[in-house]
């Protein structure tokens, strides 16, 4: 999708949001949209109660249904390929000659429980002309919505059209890089995407980087260089992957991370979204964190309007998320009219408050360079970027995340783009691909701190 059409979809959704301020009567407006089956608000990502064998894939002959059905028992080795199937990617522009697969692979959630995750691995057919073996870009998409039909792998394969980052994938493939793009956890049948849950997202991204060389026929080297990339929700995921890499996936040869439009402090973001045009993102965040942290109170806090909102949010993709909840306040969906601060004070069965759970997602806390002894040691440079006119993520939290990395002495390249939130994603594509290319080539990254 080109920048103009991407921006057109974004603006069309905004216009619809303004008209549909009443909220819950709105639906996604994409022509071929289909609602996902309704699920209970308490559905968590980690349960493994569906059928399907969990053995390492020896060939990529799984059915599409098998890719999106969670196995009874998830393998204990993160990055193991459980099932795969070769596909074409019509929503990656440019007619790139490639081999691509949908994959289901093993990962772990924030509590260390095994979970199965879906995604896409794509490898250009043209020979790699750079130094060493073909590198891998581990990519996490931006917000796509909670409906199961919204999975990035389904959209790339042409089964649905609501996503906006085909250009990001195309640019990476044209540069000769392999791409390992996670859907993120929770897009398998009966699951809920743990939206903005940092550890879950970071693990899923690192584990598809592990999984890519395990795909039969990929020809990728397990020791090859890896670059992390994501924007918006994806930017949070890729930065979490950077923070967790040393402890969780130390064998990966990660040489850089590019993260844009990062919602680094969810409390700052929630305050800005509540009651505003992009309130649908807050709805997804509440649902996603409740799925990731089942000990926290959620279902019992909802009134009927809230229960209807959860059903709605879990059935639609990006456009439906934007048009379904404009200018809605969280207080309207709870039995007691709880404000954000009042919700933060509520405790779960494990004694943690919602405020502690939300604070645990904050980026830039406990980070330090390799050998520093910090909780999150990062041994590679980082590129952070945002749009000057970002109307979704408060620039104060994007700037604060960058400042935290600089203070921690993480080599950080910083770029600003003239666009708003979505357009800046597209404006940065060529710069990000070039920056990652320099990291793959072993060049020293500029440090703008």
pLDDT, position 287? 98
What is the mean pLDDT of the segment spanning 424-428? 97
Task: Check whether 110 has a pLDDT greater than 50.
Answer: yes
CATH fold for the domain made of 3-31+266-359: 434 Repressor (Amino-terminal Domain) (1.10.260)
CA dist 151 and 68 (Å) reads 10
The pLDDT tens digits of the residues spanning 63-89 come to: 999 999 999 999 989 999 999 999 999
What is the mean pLDDT of the segment spanning 299-322? 97
pTM: 0.89
CA torsion sign, 352 to 355 to 357 to 360? Answer: negative
Q: What is the mean pLDDT of the chain?
A: 90
Lowest model confidence (mean pLDDT) among 36-40, 327-331, 437-441? 36-40
Cα-based distances in Å from 284 to 27, 278, 309, 365, 410: 15, 11, 10, 24, 31
Task: Check whether 24 has a pLDDT greater than 90.
Answer: no
Cα-based distances in Å from 248 to 58, 77, 324, 346: 25, 12, 37, 31
Check: CB of residue 109 under 8 Å from CB of residue 203: yes
Q: Above pLDDT 70, what percent of the chain?
A: 87
176 falls in which pLDDT band (50, 70, 90)?
very high
27 falls in which pLDDT band (50, 70, 90)?
very low
Task: Check whether 36 has a pLDDT greater than 60.
Answer: no
pLDDT, position 52? 38
pLDDT, position 58? 77
Q: Which residues have C-beta within 8 Å of that of residue 385, sequence separation ≥ 6?
A: 258, 259, 260, 261, 414, 415, 416, 417, 424, 428, 431, 432
pLDDT, position 56? 63
Domain ranges in the chain with CATH number 3.40.50.1820: 64-265+362-440
Cα-based distances in Å from 258 to 176, 396, 428, 438: 18, 19, 10, 12
SS3 content of the chain, % helix, strand, coil (to 5): 35, 20, 45
Domain ranges in the chain with CATH number 1.10.260.130: 3-31+266-359
Task: Check whether 32 has a pLDDT greater than 60.
Answer: no
Task: Check whether 292 has a pLDDT greater than 60.
Answer: yes
Q: Above pLDDT 90, what percent of the chain?
A: 86
Lowest model confidence (mean pLDDT) among 31-35, 376-380, 438-442? 31-35
Label residue 16 exposed, middle or buried (CB < 10 Å: 0-12, 13-18, 19+): middle
Lowest model confidence (mean pLDDT) among 13-27, 279-293, 324-338, 372-386? 13-27
pLDDT, position 109? 98
pLDDT, position 366? 98
pLDDT, position 355? 99
Check: CB of residue 417 under 8 Å from CB of residue 424: yes
Helix ranges, 57-163 (H): 64-67, 152-156
336 falls in which pLDDT band (50, 70, 90)?
very high
What is the phi-psi region of residue 219: left when phi exceeds 0, alpha when psi lies from -120 to 50, beta otherwise?
Answer: left
CA dist 97 and 76 (Å) reads 34
Tell me which range, 18-27, 43-52, 411-420, is most confidently predicted by mean pLDDT: 411-420
Kindly state the helix (H) or strand (E) to which residue 402 belongs, with its residue range.
Answer: helix 395-407
CATH fold for the domain made of 64-265+362-440: Rossmann fold (3.40.50)
397 falls in which pLDDT band (50, 70, 90)?
very high
The pLDDT tens digits of the residues spanning 178-190 come to: 999 999 999 999 9
Q: Which residues have C-beta within 8 Å of that of residue 21, sequence separation ≥ 6?
A: 326, 327
Cα-based distances in Å from 157 to 65, 90, 91: 14, 6, 6
Helix ranges, 212-265 (H): 233-248
Task: Check whether 16 has a pLDDT greater than 90.
Answer: no
The token duo for 27 is: 């639906």
CA dist 4 and 423 (Å) reads 9
pLDDT, position 38? 30
């Amino acid at each position: 999708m080109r920048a103009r059409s991407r921006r057109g979809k974004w603006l069309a959704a905004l216009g619809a949001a303004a008209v549909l301020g009443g909220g819950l009567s709105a639906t996604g407006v994409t022509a071929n949209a289909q609602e996902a089956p309704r699920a209970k608000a308490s559905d968590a990502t980690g349960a493994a109660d569906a059928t399907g064998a969990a053995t390492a894939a020896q060939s990529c002959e799984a059915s599409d249904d098998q890719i999106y059905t969670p196995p009874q028992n998830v393998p204990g080795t993160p990055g193991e390929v459980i099932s795969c199937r070769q596909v074409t990617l019509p929503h990656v522009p440019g007619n790139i000659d490639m081999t691509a697969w949908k994959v289901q692979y093993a990962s772990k959630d924030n509590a260390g429980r095994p979970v199965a995750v879906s995604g896409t691995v794509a490898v250009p057919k043209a020979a790699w002309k750079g130094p060493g073996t073909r590198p891998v870009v581990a990519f996490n998409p931006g917000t796509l919505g909670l409906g199961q039909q919204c999975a990035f792998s389904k959209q790339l394969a042409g089964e649905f059209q609501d996503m906006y980052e085909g250009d990001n994938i195309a640019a990476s493939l044209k540069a000769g890089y392999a791409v390992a793009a996670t859907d993120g956890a929770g897009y398998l049948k009966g699951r809920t995407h743990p939206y903005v849950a940092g550890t879950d997202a970071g693990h899923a991204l690192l584990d598809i980087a592990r999984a890519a060389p395990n795909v039969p026929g990929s020809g990728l080297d397990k020791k090859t260089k890896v670059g992390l990339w994501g924007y918006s929700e994806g930017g949070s995921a890729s930065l979490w992957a950077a923070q967790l890499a040393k402890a969780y996936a130390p064998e990966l040869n990660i040489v850089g991370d590019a993260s844009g439009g990062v919602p680094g402090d969810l409390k700052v973001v929630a305050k800005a979204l509540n009651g505003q045009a992009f309130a649908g993102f807050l709805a997804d965040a509440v649902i996603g964190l409740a799925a990731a942290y089942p000990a926290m109170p959620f279902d019992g806090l909802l009134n009927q309007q809230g229960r209807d909102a959860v059903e709605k949010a879990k059935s639609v993709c990006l456009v439906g998320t934007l048009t379904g909840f404009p200018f809605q306040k969280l207080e309207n969906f709870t039995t007691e009219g709880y404000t954000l601060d009042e919700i933060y004070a509520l405790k779960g069965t494990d004694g943690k408050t919602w405020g502690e759970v939300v604070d645990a997602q904050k980026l830039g806390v406990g980070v330090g360079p390799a050998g520093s002894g910090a909780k999150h040691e990062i041994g590679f440079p980082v590129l952070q970027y945002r749009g000057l006119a970002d109307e979704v993520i408060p620039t104060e939290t994007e700037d604060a995340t960058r400042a935290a990395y600089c203070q921690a002495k993480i080599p950080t390249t910083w770029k600003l783009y003239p666009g708003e939130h979505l357009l800046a994603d597209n404006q940065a594509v060529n710069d990000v691909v070039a920056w990652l290319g320099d990291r793959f080539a072993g060049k020293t990254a500029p440090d703008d701190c």
